[in-house]
Homo-oligomer: A and B are copies of this chain.
Amino acid sequence: MESLPLDKFVLHPAFLASSEPLADLKLCQARLQLDVRWPWIVLIPRKVGARELEHLSHHSRGQLMDEIVLAGAAVRAVGAAIGRPVDKLNVGQLGNITPQLHVHVIGRRPDDAAWPGPVWGVGEPVPYAPEALSRAIAAAQGPLGAMRSVS
């Protein structure tokens, strides 16, 4: 039986409960945040032990920036698909609660539940209806598909 390498990347369980996988990009797993209040994608670089941007190599940081911009396009597509076109993108790398490096890319509108403040910690997540979830995932996968890793 093949044993796993000791340093194999494992997604923090907090992401499993709060988000749905969209695509494995070159560096990150892209996931849809399960909160219909905002079109919202979380990018998790598949790097063991990374908690801050400085823990990525220079090359990986450049790749992360590319994937953030791509996730922005995907967030705009999700917003259009669920009838909440995006006016402004918000990007945040906080990790105060979940200690695995991740970047939030969120679509904002002046009529959203937290505008103009940040979204983190505001109220309770509102789940997607199944049909809206399918539309959101399909919409996100268009832009993300352009950079999906070959596996």
Contact A52-B118, Cβ < 8 Å, known A61-B65, A65-B62: no
Q: Please give the distance in Å from A31's CB to the nearest CB on chain B.
A: 19
Q: Please give the distance in Å from A35's CB to the nearest CB on chain B.
A: 16
Residues on B with C-beta less than 8 A from A116 are 96-97
Q: Is A132 at the interface (CB under 8 A from chain B)?
A: no
Q: Is A79 at the interface (CB under 8 A from chain B)?
A: no
- Oligomer: number of copies: 2
Residues on B with C-beta less than 8 A from A93 are 89-92
* Residue tally, chain A, CB below 8 Å to B: 31
Q: Are B89 and A72 in contact (CB under 8 A)?
A: no
Q: How long is the Cα–Cα vector from A96 to B122 in the complex, in angstroms?
A: 16
Contact A96-B108, Cβ < 8 Å, known A62-B62, A118-B120: yes
Q: Is A36 at the interface (CB under 8 A from chain B)?
A: no
Per-residue CB contact flags for chain A residues 47-61 toward chain B (1 = under 8 Å, else 0) read 000011110001001
Q: Is A117 at the interface (CB under 8 A from chain B)?
A: yes
Q: Is A95 at the interface (CB under 8 A from chain B)?
A: yes
Residues on B with C-beta less than 8 A from A69 are 53-54, 61
